[in-house]
Structure 1
C-alpha cells in the first residue's frame, strides 16, 4: 500500500539524515529562541519533503490529483531547497524573502490566481485585491509555520492534524500523503526529539497549507474560513504575538520565546504535554467546522476559543 511505503520511506530517510547530521555536526545549537537544552541534529524536514514530493508525484501520474494543484504544490520544492541551504549557511533575509515571493507567485500562477475573497457580508472579486491578499497570505503562512516550529513534535503534529481534517472534510489522497510523510519523521521528532525538522520542513509545510487554503477556497469561497479555523492555533498565536511585540516597541526581527506554546513550556509544561493539549484544542476547532454549518459563527467561536487559550497561557507565564 502506497501510504505504508511513504511512511517507511520518511522513517528510514529521517534515520539516515539524523546519523549523517550527527557525523557532520549539523546540529541546532541552543540559543535565545530555543526551547531545547542540548544541541540536536536538524534537517529532518528533508525526509518529509522528499516523501511528500514523491507521494504527490505518484498521485499525479496515477491521475489522482488535479494537475494545476500538483504544479502549485511542487513549486514548494524551490522553497525546500533554499530553506535547507539556509539551515546550513544562514542566508540573508532578502534571499529568503525573495525565494518566498517567487514561490508564492508560482503557486498562484499554477492555481490560476485567487478568485474571490468572501468577507461574510460582502465578496471581493477584484483580481488585484484577491491575489495581493493571497500572495501575502502565502508568505505569512510560510513564516508563521517556521515561527511555531520550536518544541518537539509541535509542527509535525499540526501537519498530521491538518492532513486528517482535510481528508475527512474534503477527501483527496494528497492529504493522506502529507499525513504519512510527516508521521515517519514524527517518530524521531517526538519528545525527546532525536532530530529537528529545520526550515526545510517548516517552511514547506506552511506553504503547503497556504496552497490547500487557496485551492479549496477557489472551489467554494467559504472554505477559506474553514482552513483558517483549522489552522487557527498556529496563525492566531503567531499573528497575536507579532502584534503584541509591535505594540511593546520590540524589535520584530529579534529572536524571542514569546509564542504561547513557548511560554507554556517555560511555565513548566513538558513538550509532549504542550503538544497533546494543542491537539485537544485542534479537536475542538475541527468540531466547530464539522458540526456548525454557519462558517461565520464557527469562525467567531474559534477566535473566542483561541483568545481564551492565550489568556490562559498569559496566566501561566506572562508576555
Structure 2
C-alpha cells in the first residue's frame, strides 16, 4: 500500500509542478543541444526527489534499510538542492563540480569507503586507490546521467529498469521506492513529454546508481561488474562519446548532439522508438547477468552486445 501512495505522491506532484511551470513560463528553451522542438516545462525531477526522500525516511523508521546506506542516499539531497537552483539560475560549472565532489566524499564516508575493486584474476584492495576511483566514479555517474537526459522517457525508464533489476538481483525495498518515485513522473514524461526531469532529477539518479554500485560491491566485489553491465547503455555511450569528441579535438564544454540516442533521433527515429529499444536492450543485459553465472563471460557477452548496437547506430547516423 505504501508504494502505491508513493506513486500517487510523485504523480500528483509532477502534475502540480507541470502546471506551475507553465503558469510561470518556466520552460526549457530549444537550443543546439535540444532533442525536442517545443518549449516544455522542466523541474519534474523535484517530484522524484521529494517522493524518493519521503520513501527513504519511511524505510528508515520502519527498519527496512541499513543505516549506512540510508545516510549515504540521504546525502544525495545536497546534489538535488543545488541542481534545483542550477535549473533556475544556471550555476557555474566550477560550483557544480565542487558540490559534486563534496557529495561524493560524503557518500563514500557514510558507506565506509570502497573496499575492493576486482578484475577476476586479481583484486585491488589499496583503500587510497579504491576510494579515489570511487570518488571519480560517483562524479562521472552524476554527470553522465545528466548528459543522457535528453529525450522523452529515456532517463526515467533507465531509472525504473535499474530499480527493478536491482530488486530482482539483490532485493531491498529502496529499489521499490525509487521505482515508484520515478514512475509517477514518467507518466507525464513518456512519449509526448509534458514535463522534463531537469538536473534536479537526473543528478540525483546518477548519484543513487553510484551509491548502489559501491554499497553492493562492498558486500560482494563481483557485484561491481553486475552494476557496470546493468548501467552499460548509459556509461558506454557517454564515455565513448566523450573520447570521440576529445579525439576530434572538440571543446568538451560546448553543447552537442552526438550521443547515440541523439543520433538515432537525427536519423529519423522517434523519441518513443529510441526509448522502447533502449528498454529492450536493458532487458537483454539483465538476462545476461541473470542467466550467466560466470561474471567474466557476462561481461564479454554484454560488451559485444553494446559494441554491436553502437555499430548499428553509427551506420544509421555517422559520428561526425
**TM-score of the pair, normalised by structure 2:** 0.99
Deviation at 1:307, TM superposition (A): 1.0
Residue 134 of structure 1 pairs with residue 134 of structure 2:
yes
- Tell me which residue corresponds to 1:113: 113
CA–CA distance in structure 2, aligned partners of residues 258 and 178 of structure 1: 29
SS in 1 for 2:312: helix
Write the deviation string for residues 153-194 of structure 1: whole angstroms up to 9, x where unpaired.
Answer: 000000000000000000000000000100000000011100
Matches within 5 A, 1:118-267: 118-267=118-267
Write the deviation string for residues 22-64 of structure 1: whole angstroms up to 9, x where unpaired.
Answer: 1111110000110000110000000000000000110000000
- Tell me which residue corresponds to 1:53: 53
CA–CA distance in structure 2, aligned partners of residues 40 and 120 of structure 1: 47
CA–CA distance in structure 2, aligned partners of residues 279 and 119 of structure 1: 28
Deviation at 1:102, TM superposition (A): 0.5
Write the deviation string for residues 173-220 of structure 1: whole angstroms up to 9, x where unpaired.
Answer: 000000010000000001110000000000000000000000000000
CA–CA distance in structure 2, aligned partners of residues 57 and 119 of structure 1: 36
Unaligned runs of 5+ in 2: none
CA–CA distance in structure 1, aligned partners of residues 290 and 244 of structure 2: 31
Pairwise CA RMSD: 0.5
CA–CA distance in structure 1, aligned partners of residues 3 and 209 of structure 2: 20
Deviation at 1:262, TM superposition (A): 0.6
CA–CA distance in structure 2, aligned partners of residues 270 and 2 of structure 1: 35
List structure 1 segments (4+ residues) > 6 angstroms apart after TM superposition: none
Unaligned runs of 5+ in 1: none
CA–CA distance in structure 2, aligned partners of residues 62 and 273 of structure 1: 40
CA–CA distance in structure 1, aligned partners of residues 54 and 212 of structure 2: 18
Report the count of equivalent residues: 319
CA–CA distance in structure 1, aligned partners of residues 90 and 141 of structure 2: 20
Deviation at 1:296, TM superposition (A): 1.0
CA–CA distance in structure 1, aligned partners of residues 223 and 249 of structure 2: 35
CA–CA distance in structure 1, aligned partners of residues 310 and 275 of structure 2: 15
**TM-score of the pair, normalised by structure 1:** 0.99
